[in-house]
Amino acid sequence: MLLVVDAGNTNIVFAVHDGREWRGAWRISTNDQRTSDEYAAWLLALIDRSGLSPRCVTRAIIGTVVPAALYHLRRLCREWLDVEPLIANTALEWGYPLKVDTPSEVGVDRRLNGLAAQHFFGGPLVVVDFGTATTFDVVDEEGAFCGGAIAPGVNLSLEALHQAAARLPRISVGRPSSAIGRNTSVAMRSGLFWGYVGLVEGIVSRIALEMATPIKVIATGGLAPLFSEGTDLFQHVAPTLTLDGLRLLAARNDPGELIPAPG
């Protein structure tokens, strides 16, 4: 089985794929001080509880936007799983070009989203990723990554609002029952939810205008299913898109693996 590790700014997702389907996925908060032994005690217990065996993990790939976390994640693979992980970086063969000014500045998560979206859905398209930041990743009709836009993430905006305004409470993200909030919490939830729906629709419409062609719009990230309820903009909601990008990248860089067919 393949272990994929997607280390983001807020959470790290570990998932295993048996070549046909995802067999398990587990999430832990990102902490660059967490050691490989701590990861192992947590992850191996979860793998075992899922009816799988850590011995079945024969390959691994790590993608991270938190460089400080890489050392211990790599040690986890080497010392506890006895595999040498691939690292998602520019040294690997990605299979598609980057039409941007500075390719080294493009976050690996954005490149993985572009890789998986192009493979499964074909360009031209834009991927909206509701993560720590809300990112818009554009792939043209030739399959090249063309850049996009980056906005503050939903939870980041929510926390900033609570921290900056003394009388505003900390609330959870959710779709409000009405746009007009008759108390502070509902008013905040309305502003956050419908504000982000408007942000996404507005940026995507401008991207489509600049591309001058109809585009597919793909949503991913933990909050994608929630925000897809507020708009008919998205043709596909793909919660595992970044994980699939890692899986495709591993297959492309392993001579013994076949790249999965689209669909």
The CATH number covering residue 194 comes to: 3.30.420.40
82 lies in some domain = yes
Q: Determine the Cα–Cα distance for residues 156 and 248; give it in Å rounded to an integer.
A: 30
Residue pair 60/6 in contact (Cβ under 8 Å)? The answer is: no
State the average pLDDT over residues 5-24.
92
Name the residue with higher pLDDT: 135 or 158: 135
Domain final position from 87, 113, 137: 87
State the average pLDDT over residues 193-219.
95
pLDDT surpasses 60 at 263:
no
Q: Per-residue confidence at 123, pLDDT binned at 50, 70, 90?
A: confident
- pLDDT > 70 in the chain, percent: 96
Domain final position from 87, 119, 145: 87
Residue 39's domain comprises 2-87
Residue 31 is encoded by which pair of tokens?
A: 């902490």
Question: What's the chain's length in residues?
Answer: 263
Give counts: helices (H), strands (E), the chain.
7, 10
Please report, in range form, the residues annotated as the binding site for ATP. Answer: 6-13, 132
226 lies in some domain = yes
Q: Per-residue confidence at 7, pLDDT binned at 50, 70, 90?
A: very high
Q: Give the predicted TM-score (pTM) of the model.
A: 0.87
Q: Per-residue confidence at 242, pLDDT binned at 50, 70, 90?
A: very high
Please report, in range form, the residues annotated as the binding site for K(+). Answer: 129
Residue 227 is encoded by which pair of tokens?
A: 């925000």
pLDDT surpasses 60 at 218:
yes
Q: Determine the Cα–Cα distance for residues 16 and 3; give it in Å rounded to an integer.
A: 5
Residues 99-118: pLDDT tens digits?
Answer: 999 988 899 999 999 999 99
Residue pair 155/169 in contact (Cβ under 8 Å)? The answer is: no
Among residues 18, 37, 48, 109, which one is catalytic? 109
Please report, in range form, the residues annotated as the binding site. Answer: 6-13, 107-110, 129, 132, 184
Residues 77-93: pLDDT tens digits?
Answer: 999 999 999 999 988 99
Q: Is 180 helix (H, G, I), strand (E, B) or coil?
A: coil
Q: Determine the Cα–Cα distance for residues 143 and 178; give it in Å rounded to an integer.
A: 40
65 lies in some domain = yes
Name the residue with higher pLDDT: 95 or 217: 217
Q: Determine the Cα–Cα distance for residues 245 and 108; give it in Å rounded to an integer.
A: 10
- Mean pLDDT taken over the chain: 90
Looking at the fold, whether 107 and 79 belong to one and the same domain comes out as no
263 lies in some domain = no
**pLDDT at 256 (0 to 100):** 57
Q: Per-residue confidence at 138, pLDDT binned at 50, 70, 90?
A: very high
Tokens 């398990």 correspond to: 24
Residues in a beta bridge with 234 = none
Residues 144-179: pLDDT tens digits?
Answer: 999 999 999 888 887 887 777 767 777 778 888 889
**pLDDT at 162 (0 to 100):** 72
- pLDDT > 90 in the chain, percent: 67
**pLDDT at 258 (0 to 100):** 53
Please report, in range form, the residues annotated as the binding site for substrate. Answer: 107-110, 184
Would the CA dihedral through 119, 120, 122, 128 be positive or negative? Answer: negative
38 lies in some domain = yes
- Which strands, in side-by-side order, build the sheet including 236-237? 145-152, 133-139, 125-130, 216-220, 236-237
Catalytic site includes residue 82: no
Q: Determine the Cα–Cα distance for residues 239 and 233; give it in Å rounded to an integer.
A: 16
Domain count, the chain: 2
Tokens 């507020």 correspond to: 230
**pLDDT at 167 (0 to 100):** 74
Residue 98 is encoded by which pair of tokens?
A: 């980057």
170 lies in some domain = yes
76 Cβ partners below 8 Å, 6+ apart? 36, 39, 40, 43
249 lies in some domain = no
